[in-house]
């Protein structure tokens, strides 16, 4: 009977540890029974469960052997009942011995449990919308590239620079005795998925002194302080393996994954995982030498205080540890600038920890791996701010009693009957209790954008956009699509800030990163976490300008700006007759804006949708433009939204950029047949 490839792979993985098929086979059979043939549980974490089970069975056999052997204790002492941790004083020299490396007599740590998380396969981007549209309504938002310089071809990252791709074969060392506590044993997992090596090192004796308390890396008090008869043990388990991920635009297989586990023993009964998937996937991150990292954290603490600080926080300490891993992995020096890795001087990059300068709930980092783009020059503002003439009248008196829910309390979403604030969305809130857009609401909004011809257009008698271009002889209105609004509870409402109908006003909560795209679009934004469909990502924040002010900016502009950032707030122009200039507004994030200013355009099948949101004023000249995911979005997938540009409109004051969104439904005809030149544009 042919042997299943999964069995062969399991054997191979164990063989790489020096464990023979013969020894593995019975363990594997038992494990398959135990796990109900769920192979993924066995394969997860480089066959961690199998390795654990193997060592456990080995230990059981040894115990049995000892029980059967004649008792030879001199002083009548019973042989110690071994738990799952073994004494560190034992010397180790092979993977086989890793089970015997560590010991604790009675830690109170429960016996090992098998790690049962399954690895989530990376998602690929969704494709397959019906057809593209280039309706006039799409010009409600303006965006352009006035001058597109020839861009250097951005080479794909050298895959070898990923720790997950680089061979660590040369890093195999023999285990070294750890005479003092805490003992650090490093197991360095080969990057090859099927090869696994247990490697120990430890020429350093990492020890963190915080005043009189000596702490081991597992957070337990050091046994050497005499408080414990047992030894605190720490195992460092370093593991990298490849996983596949298809990036949205270039379909490259490019992701690797790495972890360092600091564990109570090789069995990992209790462990702290340093997970640097994020750093490895998207940066020139090299797994740093952990001893060096520990040393740098120690030095930092020793520098700041020689004694235990009264405000000592273990959380902070662990946080420092993670930061140090990142910094050293990125070769960042203390000032935050970068040093090129010694082996490749050309590969330097820039990293900003938080472009929001602390103004958002979450940090938003910026990473430039190519140094081919100028650093963005703008002022980060987390919310819209009037530039000068815009008439944004925020006054409680303007909110009618029917337009708020003064009698509510707590969370409006938990009411048996939706309150007044749901009226605008048909008597139902737009948000679910999970804080996501409801499926039906999202579907309706999507349909308005994707099939605008089926929805309502309005044409102004005298269009503010056209008027701003030519006051005396404005062109006919090109049309504005009437949009669906969300109305959130606000200050006249009785509910609290955690009410489920206050999502946009609570601000950004997702981890985002600004990065340099490889397609020549300049900077872009990606999430550092998976985002479920209907998640609020951010609002488009900028200066609130009148259309005339915007037009003046465009005309008076130097024309050298490669990217432009204006968005027209015309979602409700249909309900207004004779909009005055100060009421016809737009947002410009060129000089002042938030993270949304970096989100690029994608024709038709973008993963974000912009939805107008009424928060503080019932008059809809001014509103918030919020960006939500319109499908599940994987971490690191570029976030895009359809700016609604009409690439055929050559009369527009802002010349549309050459679109390189890569969508099969790209509306930019200039791009048809030029796909191969995606990275190089010459005007």
Ligand X SMILES: C[S@@+](CC[C@H](N)C(=O)[O-])C[C@H]1O[C@@H](n2cnc3c(N)ncnc32)[C@H](O)[C@@H]1O
Tell me which residues touch ligand X (CB under 6 A).
143-145, 376, 521-524, 562-565, 597-598, 600-602, 657, 659-661
172 in Cβ contact with 199 (< 8 Å):
yes
Q: How far is the CB of 449 from ligand X (least distance, A)?
A: 16
* Neighbour-count burial of 48, counting CB atoms closer than 10 A to its CB (0-12 exposed, 13-18 middle, 19+ buried): buried
Q: How far is the CB of 158 from ligand X (least distance, A)?
A: 23
Q: How far is the CB of 30 from ligand X (least distance, A)?
A: 55
Q: How far apart are CA 376 and CA 665, in angstroms?
A: 29
Q: How far apart are CA 296 and CA 406, in angstroms?
A: 55
Is 355 strand, coil or helix? Answer: coil
Strand order in 350-352's β-sheet? 350-352, 364-368, 512-516, 523-527
Q: How far is the CB of 538 from ligand X (least distance, A)?
A: 12
Q: How far is the CB of 324 from ligand X (least distance, A)?
A: 31
Q: What is the 3-state secondary structure (H, E, C) of 123-188?
A: CCCCCCCCCCCCCHHHHHCCCCCCCCCCCCCCCCCCHHHCCCCCCCHHHCCCCCCCCCCCEEEEEE
Label residues 316-351 b or e (16+ Cβ within 10 Å = b).
ebbebbbbbbbbbbbbbeeeeebeeeeeeeebbbbb
| Share of the chain residues as helix, strand and coil, in percent rounded to the nearest 5 | 25, 15, 60
Element (H, E) at 97: none
Q: Which is nearer to ligand X, 217 or 628 (CB)?
A: 628
Q: How far is the CB of 537 from ligand X (least distance, A)?
A: 14
Q: Which is nearer to ligand X, 26 or 653 (CB)?
A: 653
Q: How far is the CB of 170 from ligand X (least distance, A)?
A: 40
Q: Take residue 523 and report the two structure tokens written for it.
A: 């900077």
- Phi, psi (degrees; rounded to nearest 5) at 407: -85, -5
Q: Which is nearer to ligand X, 193 or 602 (CB)?
A: 602
Q: How far is the CB of 148 from ligand X (least distance, A)?
A: 7
| Number of Cβ atoms within 10 Å of the Cβ of 644 | 24
Quickly tell me which residue has 């819209």 as its tokens: 384
Q: How far is the CB of 345 from ligand X (least distance, A)?
A: 26
Q: Which is nearer to ligand X, 376 or 435 (CB)?
A: 376
Closest residue to ligand X, Cβ-based?
Answer: 522
Q: What is the 3-state secondary structure (H, E, C) of 617-650?
A: CCCCCCCEEEEEECCCECCCCCEEECCCCCCCCC
- What single DSSP character describes residue 320? H
371 in Cβ contact with 351 (< 8 Å):
no
Q: Which is nearer to ligand X, 14 or 249 (CB)?
A: 249
Q: Which is nearer to ligand X, 99 or 563 (CB)?
A: 563
Q: Residue ranges of the alpha helices (H) in 451-559?
A: 464-469, 547-556
Q: How far is the CB of 146 from ligand X (least distance, A)?
A: 8
CB within 8 A of 121, min separation 6: which ones? none
- What single DSSP character describes residue 58? H
Q: How far is the CB of 598 from ligand X (least distance, A)?
A: 5
Q: How far is the CB of 584 from ligand X (least distance, A)?
A: 21
Is 572 strand, coil or helix? Answer: coil
Q: Which is nearer to ligand X, 14 or 567 (CB)?
A: 567
Q: Which is nearer to ligand X, 51 or 660 (CB)?
A: 660
Q: Which is nearer to ligand X, 626 or 661 (CB)?
A: 661
Q: Take residue 228 and report the two structure tokens written for it.
A: 């414990």
Q: Which is nearer to ligand X, 492 or 658 (CB)?
A: 658
Q: Residue ranges of the alpha helices (H) in 179-313?
A: 277-282, 290-304
DSSP string, 388-456: SS------GGGS-GGGS-TT--S-GGGSSS--GGGGGGTTS-SB-TTSSB-HHHHHHHHHHHH-GGGS-
* Neighbour-count burial of 456, counting CB atoms closer than 10 A to its CB (0-12 exposed, 13-18 middle, 19+ buried): exposed
Q: Which is nearer to ligand X, 429 or 515 (CB)?
A: 515
Q: How far apart are CA 271 and CA 263, in angstroms?
A: 4
Q: Which is nearer to ligand X, 254 or 563 (CB)?
A: 563
Q: How far apart are CA 72 and CA 76, in angstroms?
A: 8
Q: How far is the CB of 205 from ligand X (least distance, A)?
A: 48
Q: Which is nearer to ligand X, 420 or 639 (CB)?
A: 639
Q: Take residue 538 and report the two structure tokens written for it.
A: 């951010």
Q: Which is nearer to ligand X, 182 or 662 (CB)?
A: 662
Strand partners, 551: none
Q: How far is the CB of 653 from ligand X (least distance, A)?
A: 14
Q: Which is nearer to ligand X, 144 or 277 (CB)?
A: 144
Interhelix angle 290-304/314-329, rounded to 10 degrees, is 130
Q: How far is the CB of 626 from ligand X (least distance, A)?
A: 16
Q: How far is the CB of 455 from ligand X (least distance, A)?
A: 24
325 in Cβ contact with 276 (< 8 Å):
yes
Is 48 strand, coil or helix? Answer: helix
Q: Which is nearer to ligand X, 43 or 373 (CB)?
A: 373
């Amino acid at each position: 009977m042919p042997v299943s490839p999964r069995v062969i792979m399991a054997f191979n993985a164990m063989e790489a540890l020096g464990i023979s098929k013969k020894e593995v086979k019975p363990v594997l059979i038992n494990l398959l029974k135990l796990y109900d043939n769920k192979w993924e549980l066995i394969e997860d974490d480089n066959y961690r469960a199998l390795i654990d089970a193997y060592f456990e069975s080995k230990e059981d056999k040894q115990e049995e052997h000892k029980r059967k052997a004649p008792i030879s204790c001199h002083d009548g002492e019973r042989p110690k009942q071994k738990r799952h941790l073994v004494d560190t004083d034992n010397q180790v020299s092979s993977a086989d011995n890793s089970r015997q490396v560590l010991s604790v007599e009675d830690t109170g740590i429960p016996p090992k449990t098998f790690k049962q998380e399954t690895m989530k396969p990376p998602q690929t981007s969704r494709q397959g919308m019906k057809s593209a549209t280039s309706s006039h309504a799409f010009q409600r938002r303006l965006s352009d590239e006035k001058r597109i310089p020839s861009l250097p071809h951005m080479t794909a990252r050298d895959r070898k620079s990923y720790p997950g791709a680089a061979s660590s074969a040369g890093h195999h060392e023999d285990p070294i005795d750890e005479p003092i506590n805490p003992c650090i044993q490093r197991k360095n997992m080969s990057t090859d998925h099927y090869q696994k090596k247990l490697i120990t090192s430890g020429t350093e004796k990492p020890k963190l002194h915080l005043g009189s308390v000596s702490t081991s890396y597992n957070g337990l008090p050091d046994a050497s302080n005499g408080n414990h008869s047992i030894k605190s043990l720490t195992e460092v388990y370093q593991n990298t393996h490849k996983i596949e991920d298809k990036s949205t635009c270039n379909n490259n297989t490019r992701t690797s994954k790495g972890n360092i586990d600091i564990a109570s023993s090789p069995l990992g009964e209790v462990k702290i995982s340093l997970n640097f998937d994020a750093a490895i996937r998207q940066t020139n991150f090299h797994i740093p030498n952990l001893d060096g990292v520990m040393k740098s954290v120690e030095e930092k603490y020793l520098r700041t205080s020689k004694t235990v600080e009264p405000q000592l926080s273990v959380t902070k300490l662990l946080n420092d540890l993670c930061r140090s891993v990142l910094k050293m992995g990125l070769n960042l020096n203390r000032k935050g600038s970068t040093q090129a890795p010694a082996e490749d001087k050309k590969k330097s990059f820039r990293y900003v920890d938080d472009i929001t300068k602390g103004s958002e709930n979450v940090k938003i980092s910026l990473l430039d791996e190519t140094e081919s783009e100028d650093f963005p020059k703008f002022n980060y503002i987390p919310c819209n701010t009037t530039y000068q003439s815009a008439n944004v009248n925020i006054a409680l008196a303007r909110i009618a009693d029917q337009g708020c829910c003064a009698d509510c309390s707590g969370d409006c979403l938990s009411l048996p009957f939706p309150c007044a604030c749901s009226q605008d969305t048909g008597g139902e809130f737009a948000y679910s209790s999970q804080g996501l857009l409801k499926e039906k609401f999202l579907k309706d909004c999507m349909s308005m954008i994707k099939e605008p011809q089926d929805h309502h257009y309005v044409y102004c008698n005298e269009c503010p956009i056209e008027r701003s271009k030519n006051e005396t002889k404005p062109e006919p209105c090109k049309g504005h699509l009437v949009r669906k609004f969300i109305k959130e509870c606000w200050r006249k409402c009785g509910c609290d800030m955690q009410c489920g109908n206050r999502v946009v006003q609570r601000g950004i909560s997702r981890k985002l990163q600004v990065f340099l795209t490889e397609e020549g679009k300049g900077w872009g934004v990606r999430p550092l976490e998976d985002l479920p469909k209907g998640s609020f990502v951010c609002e488009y924040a900028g200066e609130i300008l009148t259309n005339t002010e915007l037009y003046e900016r465009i005309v008076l502009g130097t024309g050298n700006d490669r990217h432009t950032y204006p968005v027209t707030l015309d979602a409700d122009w249909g309900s207004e007759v004779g909009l005055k200039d100060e009421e016809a507004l737009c947002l410009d994030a060129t000089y002042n804006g938030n993270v949304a200013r970096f989100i690029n355009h994608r024709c038709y099948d973008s993963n974000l949708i912009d939805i107008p949101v009424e928060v503080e004023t019932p008059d809809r000249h001014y509103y918030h433009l919020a960006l939500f995911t319109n499908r599940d979005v994987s971490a690191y997938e570029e976030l895009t939204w359809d700016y609604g540009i009409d690439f055929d409109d050559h009369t527009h004051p802002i010349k549309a950029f050459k679109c390189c969104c890569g969508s099969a439904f790209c509306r930019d005809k200039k791009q048809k047949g030029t796909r191969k030149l995606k990275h190089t544009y010459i005007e």
